[in-house]
């Protein structure tokens, strides 16, 4: 009975450990695949996000400027902070290859662009 209790405590401890859903060991670039068509071919409205090891990022929240940013991963969420805009963006990690934005954006790693 005592062994079962200790086994239960160990298993509960392991299950309680929070693991980040995404590990960034090399640069990963995600691009929005569900953006509405733009009327100006020079200005896109799709979101692009590049995550680099160590917490550095680049984000284009729509338009023609890539902003330097930082990111933190906590469980299944990524919070991206853009100091120059004093703005944060949050994404939900669906898989290694897919993120979802707060406003319904679907970002994926596009084969051939990595």
Domain residues of the chain, as ranges? 20-108
Instruction: Assign 3-class secondary structure to 39-96.
Output: CCCCCECCCEEEECCCCEEEEECCECCCEEEEEEEECCEEEEEECCCCEEEEEEEEEC
In the CATH hierarchy, which top-level class contains the domain 20-108? mainly beta
Residue 13: pLDDT band with limits 50, 70, 90: low
pLDDT score at 80: 98
With a threshold of 0.75, does the pTM exceed it?
yes
The predicted-structure confidence for 47-67, as pLDDT tens digits, reads as follows: 999 999 999 999 999 888 999
């Amino acid at each position: 009975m005592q062994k079962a209790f200790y086994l239960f405590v160990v298993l509960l401890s392991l299950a309680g450990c929070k693991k980040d859903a995404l590990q960034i060991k090399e640069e990963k670039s995600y691009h929005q695949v569900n953006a509405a068509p733009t009327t100006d071919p020079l200005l896109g409205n799709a979101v692009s996000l590049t995550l680099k090891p160590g917490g550095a990022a680049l984000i284009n929240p729509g338009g023609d400027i890539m902003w330097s940013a930082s990111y933190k991963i906590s469980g299944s969420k990524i919070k991206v902070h853009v100091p120059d805009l004093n703005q944060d963006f949050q994404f939900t990690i669906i898989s290694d290859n897919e993120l979802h934005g707060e406003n319904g954006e679907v970002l994926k790693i596009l084969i051939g662009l990595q």
